[in-house]
Amino acid sequence: MKGIAGRDFTKLLVKKGWELKTIKGSHHIYMKEGRKERISVPIHGNKNLKIGLLKALMKIADIEESEL
């Protein structure tokens, strides 16, 4: 699986209709109208998200691996 930085993943979320609701420290919290889930993306410079976290966030946001 291709690695992606948190900052780049947030751009994908916005394209999918997720809205930035709040920032707590280095974590950006996204929500989407009609969904009860929240997505918390850690923004640590240009470091890639860990694979397990990335897969979990992709599953919640309905993002395919080919979209990365």
Report yes or no on 62 lying in a domain. yes
Q: What are 22-40's pLDDT values in tens digits?
A: 999 999 999 999 999 999 9
* Helix/strand/coil percent split, the chain, to 5: 35, 25, 40
Q: What are 3-27's pLDDT values in tens digits?
A: 999 999 999 999 999 999 999 999 9
| Residue 27 lies in domain | 6-67
Report yes or no on 1 lying in a domain. no
Q: What are 33-65's pLDDT values in tens digits?
A: 999 999 999 999 999 999 999 999 999 999 999
Write the CATH number for 27.
3.30.920.30
Q: Structurally, how many domains does the chain consist of?
A: 1
Report yes or no on 15 lying in a domain. yes
pTM listed for this prediction = 0.90
Q: Are 30 and 38 in contact (CB under 8 A)?
A: yes
Q: Report in angstroms the alpha-carbon separations of 34 from 4, 8, 18, 19, 38.
A: 27, 24, 11, 12, 11
